[in-house]
With several copies, the nearest count.
Chain A
């Protein structure tokens, strides 16, 4: 885990209305199998990607929450979520489909500053 580049995926878009969330998560899964230090920050409407209770079959679509749940299996375990983005949507960590670390704005600033590259959705 100490080799490679520090790459953060910044995910800010809600799922389903566009395929940005799905395609961005697919990129994260691929990045996970490379020998890099990959992390993910869910922020703003992007926190909806990891909310529980989703059922993509209602739209004949893949369930984005299930795609996100696969992240740890692909070696992506540095998962962060913006606390303020959760609060604005009346969400708490227990509403999410997988364990994530809640960060305040200052901690997110430090996370961003520590990256070699940031890829967004």
Chain B
């Protein structure tokens, strides 16, 4: 079963991407959602790395005003969607 990576701080996405498998899913949550902002030049992000299933948690995206600022290809999920990802993946790895 593929791994689910939880990225809760933006700079941690880089480390996650180094070891995430091609079938793994990555969920950006808390400050990790900033890593999903369509990249300017470098900084907190890494969102233009190799394509994997990339998700972002809706309440975190909305609180931070990022609704229209996330890169294309990032799927917004609710808390229920988060639970669904946990059902379909193992193990769950947190990066902060």
Contact = CB atoms under 8 A, between A and B. Distances in A.
A26 interface: no
B6 to A, nearest CB: 9
Interface in B48-96: 58-60, 62-69, 90-96
Contacts, number: 102
Interface residues of A, number: 40
B21 A109 contact: yes
Contact of B9 (A17, A85, A118): A17
B26 interface: no
A51 B65 contact: yes
Contacts of A91: 40
Nearest to B38: A90
A113 interface: yes
B91 to A, nearest CB: 5
Contact of A90 (B63, B69, B94): B69
Main secondary structure of the interface of B (DSSP, over half): loop
Given A54-B63, A54-B65, A116-B91, A14 B19 contact: no
B44 A89 contact: yes
B13 interface: no
Interface in B26-43: 30-31, 34, 37-43
A17 B8 contact: yes
Contact of B63 (A10, A56, A120): A56
Interface in A13-52: 14-17, 43-45, 48, 51-52
Interface in A80-121: 84-85, 87-91, 105, 108-109, 112-113, 115-118, 120
B37 to A, nearest CB: 6
Interface of B: 2-3, 8-10, 15, 18-21, 30-31, 34, 37-44, 58-60, 62-69, 90-96
Closest 3 pairs between A and B when the two form their complex, measured CB to CB: A53-B65, A88-B43, A17-B31
9 contacts: A14-B31, A55-B65, A58-B62, A84-B18, A87-B40, A88-B43, A90-B40, A112-B93, A113-B3
